[in-house]
Structure 1
Amino acid sequence: MTAEKGFRSKGVSAESEDLARLFATIAVAAGALAMETFAKPDIEARLKGDKSPVTEADERVEAYLLRELEVALPGVPFLAEESVARGKTLDVNDVFLLIDPIDGTREFLARSSDFTINVALAEKGAPRAGAVYAPAQGRVWFAGALGYEAEAGPGGSLPPAQDWRPLRVRPRPADGLVALISKSHLDAETKSFLSSHQIMRSAPIGSSVKFCLLARGEADVYPRFGPTMEWDTAAGDAVLRAAGGATLDPHGAPLRYGKKDVDYRNGPFVAWADASRRDGNATLP
């Protein structure tokens, strides 16, 4: 029996919790590989075909994650950033894995602590479970039906459940929203969104950490209009949804996964902590 069928032997909630713990555990273990490169005096990088940078850490972390996932979930197809960059194609079905070994490679090269390791599983177009690990911060966020945060050193173990902090988004503040924006991709559309909403303060944050800060109740909205891929968002989106938030497309529908017709690219989206009380009826300006 393949894992794709085998992990459905439990109830949906129990399965997703098991997956979340699995993803968090292997992401934390992979963090040691990322930090080995991060600690080098000079980090070598090259440009891929899409002009984005790739480092030794991206490739080593992805190779480790894929080995561990093949053992734990044999037969489940995957969509992984560096594998796709090398020409691997994927005909996704209802269930598949999404792997972003280093989200925020530019932050990694700049010695920022915002870069993350991301593992998620999507089913029927939605992220079912995911884990986001920030090795340089020693923090991991993971979610199935419920979302949690924990402290874990790179290469260490996921702490026991009593040390996990439940994640829950906050209600919309009466005095205005805290918006999280990309450090590397602040565009005219984002500026327009900020000016047309009741934004009290905006903060530039790198990588999928933005989803996690929404999930832990530190901010209210994350607009993104520049290009992203499904592996960039799936794990953080899983964490945010489990905490009570939503990531919505221009039509106000949840961001969908498995978009083979557009090569798994995301269009514009806005991630909301309190989606029920977003400004106006439209998600985007």
Structure 2
Amino acid sequence: MYYNSILPEVIRIADEASEKVLHIYQSDFKVSYKEDQSPITAADTASHEIIVKGLRNLTRDIPILSEEGAEIPWEERKHWRRFWLIDPIDGTKDFTQRTGEFTLNIAMIEDGEPVMGVVTAPALKEAFWGIKGEGASMRDRTGRIHRIRVVEPRETLRVVASKNHLNEETRTFIDSLGDHETVQAGSSLKFCRIAEGHADIYPRMGPTSEWDTAAAHAILLAAGGNVQTPQGEPLKYGKEDVLNPHFIAAGSWYF
């Protein structure tokens, strides 16, 4: 499949969902809680419906796995060589706390690898996208589109960390890096800040799910970065257990 031929339509679908999400974000929305006590709002559901409908119209033969529709059994999923992996809203806590640091994420997975990704940050009016081997781009809040690429770190490492999920193990890893400064970012924007050259490394020694990382992982790969486990294994997708192992995202200088 030539992903560059469908990328503009995937961006359009993400923008349509983003517009709806932003409308809800700016309203007096209610917060509910799922069985695992993670928050959910009408924006999660609306984004899921718009993205799934758009992708089904675009590629009828490619299955879709979404955080808000994740009950597809492994017996079916294990036969998927290629599939869409979406997180209708990553960073629901950022959404409910109105920090603006939440994203919509659409990834194409092929043979366990994220080969195309689109990430939008509706409240920040930013969007990022990339295709493996073809580079990555971002659209800034003025609407201008730039090519983006990871950069070599300066003397002081810029470490991007989660505001909501910074545990002791991650803190210990960060301290081992030596001289550094912390760049705060929510949701999948942590990968995007590395991809655009505004940060150098993002260690995550805590739980995430495949849909949390896939789209931004694809963008970082396209921008010349990488994501691996602490043991040096690539982060893979389409597993029976959708939880990710611990990982480190960075430019190629680290690996």
TM-score (norm 1): 0.84
- SS at 1:217's partner residue? coil
| Structure 2 residue 225 is matched with structure 1 residue 225 | no
Give matches, 1:31-110, under 5 Å: 31-40=18-27, 42-84=28-70, 87-89=71-73, 90-92=76-78, 93-110=80-97
> Structure 1 residues 176, 237: closer, same or farther in 2, change over 3 A?
same
Distance 2:17 2:141 in 1: 12
Structure 1 partner of 2:135: 146
* 3-state SS, counterpart of residue 191 of structure 1: helix
Structure 1 segments unaligned to the other structure (5+ residues): 1-7, 9-14, 154-158, 279-285
Equivalents in 2 of 1:133, 1:219: separation in Å? 18
Tell me, yes or no, if the aligned pair for 1:227 and 1:268 is still in contact at 8 Å.
yes
Q: Alignment identity in percent?
A: 35
TM superposition score normalised by structure 2: 0.93
Using the TM superposition, give the Cα deviation of residue 203 of structure 1 relative to its aligned residue in structure 2, in angstroms: 2.2
Report the Cα distance in structure 2 between the residues aligned to 1:109 and 1:203, rounded to whole angstroms.
21
Q: Does 1:164 align with 2:141?
A: no
Please, what is the CA RMSD of the aligned residues? 1.5
> Could you tell me which amino acid in structure 2 is paired with residue 277 of structure 1?
Y
- Partner Cα distance (2:179, 2:210) in 1: 27
Matches for 1:128-139 after TM superposition, within 5 Å: 128-139=115-126
Alignment-derived partner of residue 114 in structure 2:
127
Map of 1:212 onto structure 2:
192
Matches within 5 A, 1:227-242: 227-242=207-222
Match of 1:228, SS?
Answer: coil
Report the alpha carbon displacement of residue 47 of structure 1 after superposing the two structures with TM: 1.2
Equivalent residue letter for 2:152: P
CA–CA distance in structure 2, aligned partners of residues 270 and 202 of structure 1:
15
- Taking a change above 3 Å as real, the CA distance of residues 88 and 45 of structure 1, as seen in their structure-2 partners, is farther
What amino acid does structure 1 have at the position aligned with 2:126? R
